[in-house]
Structure 1
Amino acid sequence: MKKFLQILPLFLIISLFGQNVSDYQYIYVPQKFTDFEQNKYGLNDLLKEKLKQKKFIILNENKTEWPTEAKQDPCEVLNADVVNTSNIFKNRLKIEFKDCHNKTIASIEGKSFIKEFDEGLRDALQNATNSISISNYKKTVALQKEEPKKENRSVEEVKDIQIVPAPKTLATADQKAEVYQKGSLTLHQIFLTNGEFILVNPNNSIPYATFKPSTKKEVYRVQLQDGNSTIGYLENGSIIVEITNTDRSLRKEIFEKK
């Protein structure tokens, strides 16, 4: 029983963990961002252009021009914003993506060493968009509730009906997650669908990283806990994730199988 209670949160997280930017098809880009006036430095046009290159459909202020799907279900639309985080040393900004519940799906930072505001902020925005994955939208079909059909049945017929319980899909104590370790950090590998999996800390309800298959065998597109995107791959039984340092150099995070 104790083992079951320990592994239960790992499987509950599958239904709780959030979406990625690439899971959406539509992105709304406003005329004005939080920290920038209308199309200041051309940031609005640049963001639209870069998102279109990633196969997203860009929506404007006029909702009457939105596709029927987006008008009927606002939760199909991701809302983009740009926040200025510059300091006296470098131009820096964040692209924030929020869903219909105003929940932040991703916050992606871009930096530039170009000191001029115009060119530097555009360069920072472009650097931020480089880490956004191409849209991989798949329509989620909502389950529709059907009205029960009214039938004239006698009391005797109703009594003969037997309720058959649905099969349980919750993990049992016999199911085990693969365990990977890096130093003192221990993560569990949980497989989802379509070859996807997550690495999760058993003491945390948020995935450390989400892995989606690429076109190359054992190489994955990775969405990190902080919203940043990178790549990961399998090598000699270990899971390796490439992390970008502040100076834009790369380092490897190696998680060895226990």
Structure 2
Amino acid sequence: MKTRFLTTIFACLFITSAFSQTELNKYKYVIVSKKFDFLKSANQYQLNDLSKFLLNKYGFIALIEGESYPEDLSRNRCLALDADVLKEPGMFKTKLKVELTDCNDRLIYTSGIGESREKEYQKSYVEATRAAFASFENLGYKYEPKAGSVVASAPEVTATSNASSEIDKLKEEIKSLKEEKAVEVVEERIAPVNNPVTITESVNTGVLYAQAIKNGFQLVDSSPKVLYRMHNTQLSDVFLVENKSAIIFKKDNKWFIEHHENGALKLEVLNIKF
């Protein structure tokens, strides 16, 4: 009876490990939080740098949140998992675990609990962090890109005939604009003196992730739900919005969408991450 019980436990652990490995292999990068919640400052005791080092050691391409990202990650944030180290309750021990979540905050992997009995904070946190990351050693992680897919969990989108007509119309309207003055000219055209533009926060208060599609990007929220599909123009940082009389453009490191609403022109701020 005892042997059968142990066999069942080991089988469950094997299946869980295999599932975790399959899930992890879908992601190319891991972004380590620049500050863990249980610490007072960013990279205190060098735990964030240590986490990045250990992830790289076990085969991942690890980055610290906020540093320069590779081009493919900048275009598709869902290529990466987010890594966070969490503190568990313990009276006489320091207990830490590692969690990996995807771009939609879905939990993908949780490490074992790393423990330390050291009394000095730096020594105990470092020891417990290393112990928690030891769970990664036998995962056998290896990135396996999805064949024929550029964007994770999102089908390739092509413009409909109506969208193409709208795009052609808008292209004609901005064709004469000079590239270096694109944003200024657009604002002059949408903000006449007798009809000022209303500037509001975006109706989507969360982050919109830009995912590459044919001839541009689509913007999705954390659901994930596609809110806008925008297509390239000959102008830098100016895009045409599919199926809408609207454009999305960048000025002063902020992204805006200009569109018609109830017969009036509106300018809204968008929080876009590429």
TM-score between both structures, scaled by the size of structure 2: 0.43
Q: Which has the higher helix share?
A: 2
